[in-house]
Amino acid sequence: MAIKSLLTEADLDALRQFDTCMVSNAIETFDARLRNTGFADGSIRCMFHDGDAPPMVGYAATARLRCGQPPIVGGSFHDRSDFWNSILEIPAPRILVLQDMDEPPGRGAFVGDMHAAILKALGCIGYLTNGSVRELHAVRAMGVQLFAGSVAVSHAYAHIFDLGATVRVGGMEVQPGDLLHGDCHGVLTVPIEFATKIPDAAARLQQVERTVIDFCRSSAFSVAKLREIMKATR
Domain ranges of the chain: 32-190, 201-232
Instruction: Tell me the CATH number for domain 32-190.
Output: 3.50.30.40
Q: Could you tell me whether strands 56-66 and 94-100 are parallel, antiparallel, or unpaired per DSSP bridges? A: parallel
- At residue 228, the 3 state secondary structure works out as helix
Q: Are 136 and 151 in contact (CB under 8 A)?
A: yes
Nearest to 85 by CA among 118, 52, 46, 39: 118
What is the arithmetic mean of pLDDT over 170-190? 98
Collapsing DSSP to helix, strand or coil, 225 comes out as helix
pLDDT on residue 2: 52
Q: Is the pLDDT reported for residue 81 higher than 50?
A: yes
Residue 61 pLDDT greater than 90, yes or no: yes
For residues 121 and 165, the answer to whether their CB atoms sit within 8 Å is: no
pLDDT over 60 (residue 73): no
pTM score: 0.93
pLDDT in tens, 148-163: 999 999 989 889 999 9
**What is the C-alpha separation between 61 and 122, in angstroms, rounded?**
11
Give the other-Cβ count within 10 Å of 204's Cβ.
12
